[in-house]
Amino acid sequence: MPTTSKFLQSTRKIIGAGVNYKEILRLTNSPKPDAPVIFFKPISSLLDAGSGSTGSTGTPPTIRIPRVFGGVINFEAELGVIIGRRCANVPTDQAMTYVGGYCLALDMTGMDFILDARPKGLPWCLGKGFDTSTPVSAMVRRADLPNPDDVRVWCEVNGVRKQDDSTRNLIFPIAELIAYVSRFMTLEENDLLLTGTPAGAGPVRHGDVIVCGLGEDLMTMRCQVADE
């Protein structure tokens, strides 16, 4: 069964993988990247949404839209991988032995900011790193997710299904992501690796409610959206 989200108290890095579902390439008629597209989010962006894992009870945690984004941000539901022990230069065939567990995460994004920055060749970390932009569920133990390379990731906004795909359709699977990132930096216990979001990500505004999940009933997370 899922455990608490205490791992967040010692998370030191949040590493995201962009454009990592095959359906996104098909919809955009884009070639497969030669290597994973990696970005970072600050730990100050974390929002402990473990209490929202029931999906229906109590007041859900609140994602705040910064004023600078004009009242709209994008939702992106993802499988998160929690590193279990320190590692560097990990071979792909050994990468999964360094996984400590999994979680459900939202990579909230100021998309207008990013779309403006990309063509200019400018960094777009501010579109990814605002406070509350990384809601995270309680941890799922490895034993409770024996096949992370084939688990559904889904997301609903105000009761309407927006995203629904399986991690079997990742362009770069979990082991490849861990091995690739570990070539450039040491991964530490409780670092969080976001594996990418399925097609269907889109905007949310003040008053919207996001419910996302892993599998049929392995983990759900519920968040509300509000202006800053």
Nearest to 136 by CA among 35, 205, 63: 63
pLDDT for 58 equals 72
User: Which domains occur in the chain, in start order?
Assistant: 4-227 (3.90.850.10)
pLDDT for 4 equals 64
Amino acid residing at 135: P
Please answer whether residues 145 and 102 qualify as being in contact, where contact means their C-beta atoms are separated by less than 8 angstroms: yes
Compute the mean pLDDT over every residue in the chain, rounded to the nearest whole number: 94
Reported as type and span, the H/E element at residue 62 is: strand 62-65
Residue 57 scores a pLDDT above 70: no
DSSP characters over 80-112: EEEE-S-BSS--GGGGGGGEEEEEEEE--B-HH
Categorize the per-residue pLDDT at 122 as very low, low, confident or very high, splitting at 50, 70 and 90.
confident
pLDDT for 42 equals 97
